[in-house]
Structure 1
Amino acid sequence: MALANMLSRKAGFATSRTSAPFVASRVSPVAAKARVSSAAPSFSRQQQSIVCQAAATAEVAEKKVHPSPLTIAAPATYAIVEIGGTQMFVEPGKWYTCNRLKVDVGSKIKFGRVLALKHEGKLTVGKPYLENVAVEAEVIEELRGPKVIVYKMRPKKHYRKKQGHRQDLSKFMVTSISA
């Protein structure tokens, strides 16, 4: 603060404790030239950067604060279900993909291994599963995942093996969560 007061007095500015705080940090010369008006050509670069920082601080203080985009409301009803050895966070009305289910396309299926359920603002956690809770879904389609290349080789032994793999998947739509 003392350095800022000294430089501002040298430049002809009067500072008070109620004015915007000066920040004595360096700004690139290009940014300083862009922010400083042409009415002050006799300032040194350091003085210009201090004036620019004070102006930028005042601009930031005037801007309105918006809520963070990361504050997203959680859905009203959801469940954590174990499907084929993996745990999935599911909501009614949305579709998900998992490893291939042994059912036909268009058939209804019930997942009984529900680990947790949030319904009407109340979270219930099972030990390990919840009793009398099921997630009902309908299988939409059967598809295959992206190709994964597996390449094995032994250096200096003429052993090369290239193999591809595509995982069989099922896409299903969660119709309801019954508690």
Structure 2
Amino acid sequence: MRFHMYAVIKTGGKQYKIVAGEKLKIEQIPADIGTELTIDQVLAVGAGDTIKFGAPLVEGATVSVKVLAQGRHDKVKIFKMRRRKHYQKHQGHRQNYTEIQIVSINA
């Protein structure tokens, strides 16, 4: 029985549970499309029942990722209103993202 290795990484102030081969949209990082990057902020590595936690990072663990695309998420509409006060405010926001594919997890 083969267990898939997974890891918990931290990038852009967020934490993601990743598996090799999956695609993921993360906070934007300045990198060209097609380049390979290594993420060394690995908080935990696991396979099946065994899991290794870092304190705070797992030593020597890295994750190789490939940049697939740079883009922007859908628009989020922000609407503020105070009832009976004649106050309405409309605002929109589109967050940038970087789409990556996990190439390998090196523990």
Tell me which interval the TM-score lies in, with the shorter structure as reference length.
0.7 to 0.9
Q: CA deviation at 1:166?
A: 1.2
1:136 is matched with 64
Q: Deviations over 1:33-76 (max 9, x none)?
A: xxxxxxxxxxxxxxxxxxxxxxxxxxxxxxxxxxxxxxxxx952
Q: CA deviation at 1:101?
A: 1.3
Q: How many residues align?
A: 107
| Residue range with higher mean Cα deviation, 160-169 or 116-125 | 116-125
Q: CA deviation at 1:110?
A: 1.0
Mapping of residues 93-112 of structure 1, within 5 Å: 93-112=21-40
2:54 is matched with 126
Q: What's the TM-score once normalised by structure 1's chain length? A: 0.54
Runs of 4+ in 1 over 4 A off after TM superposition: none
Q: Name whichever structure is richer in helix by fraction.
A: 1
CA distance in 2, matches of 1:152, 1:119: 46
Q: CA deviation at 1:119?
A: 4.2
CA distance in 2, matches of 1:83, 1:151: 29
The one-letter amino acid of 1:82's match is K
Q: CA deviation at 1:153?
A: 2.4
Q: Which has the larger radius of gyration?
A: 1
1:162 is matched with 90
Q: Percent identity?
A: 32
CA distance in 2, matches of 1:166, 1:75: 38
Q: Which ranges in structure 2 are unaligned for 5 or more consecutive residues?
A: none
1:71 is matched with none
Q: Which ranges in structure 1 are unaligned for 5 or more consecutive residues?
A: 1-73
CA distance in 1, matches of 2:8, 2:83: 46
Looking at both structures, which has the greater relative contact order when contacts are Cα pairs under 8 Å and sequence separation is at least 6?
A: 2
**1:92 maps to 2:92:** no
Q: CA deviation at 1:122?
A: 3.2
Q: What's the TM-score once normalised by structure 2's chain length? A: 0.88
SS at match of 1:105: coil
CA distance in 1, matches of 2:3, 2:43: 17
Q: Name whichever structure is richer in strand by fraction.
A: 2
1:115 is matched with 43
Preserved contact between residue 3 and residue 47 of structure 2 (Cα < 8 Å): no
1:16 is matched with none
CA distance in 1, matches of 2:35, 2:72: 19
Mapping of residues 24-35 of structure 1, within 5 Å: none
The two structures, once aligned, show a CA RMSD in angstroms of 2.1
